[in-house]
Structure formats: C-alpha cells, structure tokens
Amino acid sequence: MISQKMQDALNGQVKAEFYSAYLYLSMASYFESIDLPGAANWMRVQFQEEQAHALKFVDYIIERDGRAVLEAFDNPQSEWDSVLDAFQGAYAHEQKVTALINGLVDMARAESDHAAEIFLQWFVNEQVEEEASVKAIIQQLKMIEGSGNGMFLVDRELTARIFTPPAVAT
Ligand code: FEO
C-alpha cells in the first residue's frame, strides 16, 4: 500500500507523462506541416515512449494497491518558430519532467517508501537519456545553422528512430 500523498503525487506524474505524449505528438504534427518526416517520426516515437512512461506509473500505482486516477490537462503548444525552437522546447520540457521525478524521489525518501524509491530509479536514469538525446539533436541543428542541405541530412537521420517498449517489470 502507498500513502495517499504518494498516490496523489504519482497520479500527478501520470498526467505529466500523458501531457508529454500529447506535446510531442503536437510537435510531430508541426514537423509534418513543414515537410520534415524524419523529425516527425522522432517525435512520434517520443509520443509512444511518453505513453509507456505514463502506463508504467499507472501499473505501479495498481501494483501497490492504489488507485490510478486520470486527470485533464491543458492544450499543448501547437506552433513553433522553427525546428530548433521546437527541439529547444522539448529540452526545456524534459528538464521540467526531470525536476518532477526528482521531487518524487525526495518524497519517497521522506516517507521511507523504499519500493517507490527503487521504482523511480528507472525514471531517474531515463531522464538522463531523454535530456541527452534531445540535446544532441539541438547541437546538430545549431551546427547546420538553418542550411537546407544540413536539415535534409539531420531529418534523414531522425527517420531511423524506432520505438522500443520499456521493460514491463519495474
Ligand atoms: Fe517521460 Fe520524457 O519524460
């Protein structure tokens, strides 16, 4: 059993992860609108990853005999100034998610909820990866400085990303 406080916080994270999925699908749609199928693919994979993250939290709450509650969230942003602007938005968003995960770890420690702390470690590591992968794309976009040829190559590279579901076991 988890505490009510922890359950509420984990449900808040379910919402944050689903919101992330929505935001990245919105970015995918933006990239499609400016004819960048590779960047759109990359964001669609991100969308799938975020849904998997949300489900991981839902499953964990249920496993701990809690109640997963779904909450509404605001409309995601739908327009960006450029490809770089969108990826910078994704990076800033991931930094916010990292802060949320760290806050959950702090709560688990304060409550001596060792199971929750161990469960959250997967997300601590995942956030390192998430921030690094977006940062790498931002560096590439900065390097090409808006060149069409460069963008063509970066976009082609982003086409290769495929979704790999995270392990079910927590
Ligand atoms: Fe689920 Fe991108 O954090």
- Distances in Å between the Cα of 115 and the Cα atoms of 1, 16, 134, 162 are 10, 21, 30, 31
- Taking the centre of ligand 1 as the mean of its atom positions, its distance from the CA of residue 87, in whole angstroms, is 14
Q: 120 with 104: CB under 8 angstroms?
A: yes
Q: Output the residue whose Cα is nearest ligand 1's atom 2.
A: 94
Measure CA of the first residue to CA of the last residue in the chain; give whole Å. Answer: 16
Question: Domain of 74: which CATH number?
Answer: 1.20.1260.10
- Distances in Å between the Cα of 17 and the Cα atoms of 36, 52, 93, 148, 167 are 25, 9, 11, 33, 17
Q: Which domain holds residue 34?
A: 4-158
Regarding the beta carbon of 130 and ligand 1, being less than 6 Å apart is answered yes
- Determine the Cα–Cα distance for residues 65 and 91; give it in Å rounded to an integer: 34
Looking from the CA of residue 97, the nearest atom of ligand 1 is: 3
- Taking the centre of ligand 1 as the mean of its atom positions, its distance from the CA of residue 19, in whole angstroms, is 10
- Is 24 part of any domain? yes
Regarding the beta carbon of 53 and ligand 1, being less than 6 Å apart is answered yes
Q: pLDDT tens, position by position, for the chain (170 residues)? A: 899 999 999 999 999 999 999 999 999 999 999 999 999 999 999 999 999 999 999 999 999 999 999 999 999 999 999 999 999 999 999 999 999 999 999 999 999 999 999 999 999 999 999 999 999 999 999 999 989 999 999 999 999 999 998 876 54
Dihedral-angle region of residue 70 (phi above 0 means left; psi in -120 to 50 means alpha; beta otherwise): beta
- Is 27 part of any domain? yes
Q: 53 with 165: CB under 8 angstroms?
A: no
- Is 107 part of any domain? yes
Looking from the CA of residue 130, the nearest atom of ligand 1 is: 2
- Is 73 part of any domain? yes
- Is 166 part of any domain? no
- Is 46 part of any domain? yes
pLDDT tens for residues 35-80?
A: 999 999 999 999 999 999 999 999 999 999 999 999 999 999 999 9
* Whole-prediction pTM: 0.95
Regarding the beta carbon of 46 and ligand 1, being less than 6 Å apart is answered no
List CB contacts of 155: < 8 A, sequence separation 6 or more.
36, 37, 38, 39
- Is 85 part of any domain? yes
Regarding the beta carbon of 17 and ligand 1, being less than 6 Å apart is answered yes
- Taking the centre of ligand 1 as the mean of its atom positions, its distance from the CA of residue 163, in whole angstroms, is 14
- Is 144 part of any domain? yes
Q: How many domains does the chain have?
A: 1
